[in-house]
Structure 1
Amino acid sequence: MSRIPNSLLRHRITIEPYRGDSSTGPLYGPPQTVRAFVDEQTRAVVSPGGETVTSSSIAYCAPGTTAPPLSRVTLPSGRETKVIAALPRDGGGLPTPDHVEIQLQ
């Protein structure tokens, strides 16, 4: 299997990529709406800095989806959250769906 089937990506999320900080606060790129499967469940995850943090939800998206850490994400419920990490999940030829796992605060 090469990629997660679109039929499983039942939700739409909006990602505003984090671009850095300014004197007035964080800067974000233009919003992108992407298809996803959103699992709202609290769990402990490891941030890119190696710290254990709490994730309130995870969005599973098609391969190639870009969501840098600290990007702003709007979930189908309207709740805004931030990206902890976006992890590519590649089965390496195994019959598993390739996807991007976006861990959210």
Structure 2
Amino acid sequence: MIPTRLLPQQLTYRPLSGRTSFGPVYGDLVTVPARVQFGVKTIQTANGEEAVSSATIYVQPGPNLPDIGDVVTLPDGSVRPVIARTEHVGARTVEVVSLDVS
């Protein structure tokens, strides 16, 4: 597991709780320790499409983590949707979770 001291930022996100005819509905704000690295790169989404990521966020594995479709508020104040989530497995367990946002 990634040490907390390597997660210097606080990531605030709203989980996607459903969709209506007016658009997505989000839940209450959740905050988790994170490391945000800004940088543009091309990624492959869960459904196999190519997308452009503007930042990668690293968080510790556990409950209450952002998932695809949730919206996160980055340290620069911008609000971005999560477009990809990857669990990085170590010897036997998930060591770190990375999230890519558009």
TM-score normalized with structure 2 length: 0.91
- For 2:5, what is the secondary structure of its paired residue? helix
- Give the gaps of 5 or more residues in structure 2: none
Structure number with higher strand proportion: 2
Total equivalences in the alignment = 101
Matched residue, 2:36 = 38
Percent of pairs with identical residues: 33
Q: Do 1:66 and 1:86's aligned partners in 2 also have CA atoms closer than 8 Å?
A: no
Q: Do 1:13 and 1:74's aligned partners in 2 also have CA atoms closer than 8 Å?
A: yes
Matched residue, 1:75 = 74
TM-score normalized with structure 1 length: 0.88
Q: Deviation string for 1:40-86 (max 9, x for gaps)?
A: 00001111111010000010001125222111100111110000122
Provide the alpha-carbon RMSD of the alignment: 1.7
d(CA) in 2 for partners of 1:71 and 1:52? 19
- CA-CA distance at 1:39 after TM superposition: 0.4
- Give the gaps of 5 or more residues in structure 1: none
Instruction: Name which of 24, 27, 39 aligns with 1:26.
Output: 24
2:91 maps to 1:102: no
Matched residue, 1:57 = 55
d(CA) in 2 for partners of 1:87 and 1:48? 9
Higher relative contact order (CA 8 A, sep 6+): 1
| Runs (4+) off by over 2 Å | none
- CA-CA distance at 1:21 after TM superposition: 1.4
d(CA) in 1 for partners of 2:29 and 2:80? 14
